[in-house]
Structure 1
Amino acid sequence: MIGTALFTLVLPVGPALADAPVKERGETAEAAAFEQDRASILAMAGDYKVRFDMQEATPWREGYEPLERKISGGHESVRVIEDTGTRIVLQHLLVVGTGQDAFVIKHWRQDWEYEPERILTYHGPNRWVWSDVPEPMRRGRWSQTVYQVDDSPRYAGLGQWETTNGIRRWRSNWTQRPLARRDAVRDPVYDLYTAINRHQLTPDGWIHWQDNTKMDLVEGKSQPVVQEYVLNTYARFDGYDTAAADRYWAATSDYWAAVRAQWARIADANSGIAIEEEAQTGTVISAELLQMGDAILAGELDQAEAIARARDLITSHTSPT
């Protein structure tokens, strides 16, 4: 178990709600809006060529020199793995290489929930807590909770799907989240991001735009260091081994369902999730959880054994928040 000494920083608990309550709509209009929202979320599923464009721009601290712009890309398949009507779960799978050399990296996951009563928010190093959403603020809105490659939480936001200037989009409230690996491995001067996320549909896919303020924690208070703009573009494309993504998921989906369920049980039992993170892998158990998924795919590990080991890892490395 990790010790409580890791959690000495005090950050705001509740979600920062940037908007007023959504105006009440008639029953017919509400039902139509709900179905349009669902269609927008489900439209993000598919096969894509992805371009990741990251740019530190405006320094907020005197003497800080922004990093050079970084552009990368890859192929990513997004699959709907759960749809209950008011809850939609999308799993991202990176496909690297071609032909017999193609392999899959389980990537991030996004859970969408309609009018949630609470969301699991980042609350400082190694810690996520449940934040209540007041009834007037949840009406007509969807939460998006983003999970890391091992299905541990990353960040959550709340927002309304709407059409502005002919463009369909969802915009979050202000969210906090831990550093991405690209930053964490550099021993940076900042400790976390405070951000607004936007998801917008395009004629051939969708974009995820992040407005990130990189923050330094000083005596428990966050101070801005630099502004970063991230634009991830998902353009529909099937000119890669999309079947590799489906083979991976067919072989490992039951294992990952058990992993998700165990994280959920821990979050409910412990009023959130507290687990140590490290720069290279995210949580300290991330690498082992992913390796077991690969071993199941290769036929080298019994699934029941992997599930038992995963449950034990999650339980033994988490503690009450």
Structure 2
Amino acid sequence: MRAILIAAALLTAAAPAAQALEAGAVAPTAASTPASAFERDRQSILAQAGQYRVHFDMRENVSFQADYDPLEEQLSGGSEIVRVVYDQGDRISLQHILVMEHEGQVIVIKHWRQDWVYQPQTVLTYAGPNQWVLTPVPADQRQGAWSQTVWQTDDSPRYGGVGRWTYDNGLSAWTSDPTWRPLARRDAVRNPVYDRYLGTNRHILTPNGWVHIQDNVKMSGKAGGAPVAVVQEDVINTYDRSTGYSPAAGDAYWAKTQGFWAAVRQAWDDAIVAGNGVHLQQEAQTGSVTGAPLMDLAQSLADGETTEADAIAQARVLIAEATSAR
């Protein structure tokens, strides 16, 4: 777990100067003539894969409570590769992996994952403290739409939403419906007055990569009853293509652990299907309670300290125990 804490410290530090962009590189775009609207959307999703320098800009802007003062702007950054886990046509999975340098050592951290499903029957949504549910998507809302489900570092759920890709005004952009989310680590560790977000997400392709724009209303449901708005936040996460660092360590980690993580994903899927959702305790520092042990198992596998079979067996037990507790 030491590596996770190092990476968290790096991400919350001031962002260093941008790395050099790949010479002559042109980001993949869905603006060229597509074979179909469906294929155009697919290429927009796949265009997010690559090697990036990421810049995070988080700003609380408008307070809706007389006694709450918005936080100062938070800037950070990191080096991140995004790899295609699978492409099944109407289902695409992208894995983010941090590749950071700290005191002369390269630190690799499996980061978040985004799964895309075309015209989904259901989407896994956050339903309140420690609870996610499979929510049906009405036929008229899923027509031509894509769900995006975001998973934490240990492949436990974070949030899901449904939206459509549009190509107006020269932009290839996907915009979600308003989506409930648990607190991110940057907020959870402060024990703030709010305890969840209601956010709208946009993924937009740019000439040098893509950008993830979030419009978050931070809400408090701690007093019981309907959540109350506390403050509005803008988050702009910019992914600029870069060759200013080597992705080799990240790709090597993924090659060693992808079989383990495939089994972990299946274990989470099985638990979600069995329970029509999942109950999972969250921790401020690591997200879900399974975060530290599952990440440690993967690191032990990558370091050659355990076998894949043993790591998978332990992971299945961890997930079963964590999702059965109430």
- Fold-level similarity (TM above 0.5): yes
- Say which of 132, 137, 158 aligns to 2:162: 158
Q: Which residue identity is paired with 1:119? A: V
- Displacement, 1:239? 1.5
Q: Which residue identity is paired with 1:307? A: I
Q: Is the 8 A contact 1:98 1:241 kept in 2?
A: no
**1:1-321 correspondence runs (5 A):** 32-97=36-101, 101-217=105-221, 218-319=223-324
- Displacement, 1:165? 1.0
- Normalised TM-score (structure 2): 0.88
RMSD: 1.6
Q: In the aligned structure 2, how far is the partner of 1:182 from the partner of 1:320?
A: 26
Q: Which residue identity is paired with 1:180? A: A
- Displacement, 1:320? 8.4
Moved over 2 A (4+): none
SS in 2 for 1:263: helix
SS in 2 for 1:224: strand
- Displacement, 1:43? 0.2
- Displacement, 1:30? 10
Q: In the aligned structure 2, how far is the partner of 1:58 from the partner of 1:173?
A: 21
- Displacement, 1:91? 0.1
- Displacement, 1:302? 1.2
SS in 2 for 1:121: strand
- Displacement, 1:245? 1.0
Q: Which residue identity is paired with 2:311? A: A
Unpaired segments of 5 or more residues in structure 2?
1-32
Q: In the aligned structure 1, how far is the partner of 2:92 from the partner of 2:231?
A: 34
Partner of 2:16: none
SS in 2 for 1:221: coil
- Displacement, 1:316? 0.7
Q: In the aligned structure 2, how far is the partner of 1:225 from the partner of 1:98?
A: 36
Q: Which moved more, 1:308-317 or 1:100-109?
A: 100-109
Q: Deviations over 1:75-119 (max 9, x none)?
A: 000000111000000000000117972121000000000000000
Q: In the aligned structure 2, how far is the partner of 1:120 from the partner of 1:37?
A: 21
- Displacement, 1:63? 1.8
Q: Deviations over 1:46-92 (max 9, x none)?
A: 00000000000000111210000010001000000111000000000
SS in 2 for 1:187: coil
Q: In the aligned structure 1, how far is the partner of 2:239 from the partner of 2:219?
A: 28
Q: Is the 8 A contact 1:122 1:129 kept in 2?
A: yes
SS in 2 for 1:318: helix
Q: In the aligned structure 1, how far is the partner of 2:197 from the partner of 2:224?
A: 17
Q: In the aligned structure 2, how far is the partner of 1:31 from the partner of 1:63?
A: 54
- Displacement, 1:128? 0.2
Q: Is the 8 A contact 2:179 2:198 kept in 1?
A: yes
Q: Which residue identity is paired with 1:254? A: G
Q: Which moved more, 1:215-224 or 1:188-197?
A: 215-224
Q: Which residue identity is paired with 1:80? A: V
Partner of 1:16: none
Unpaired segments of 5 or more residues in structure 1?
1-28
Q: In the aligned structure 1, how far is the partner of 2:68 from the partner of 2:214?
A: 21
Q: Is the 8 A contact 2:182 2:196 kept in 1?
A: yes
- Displacement, 1:220? 2.9
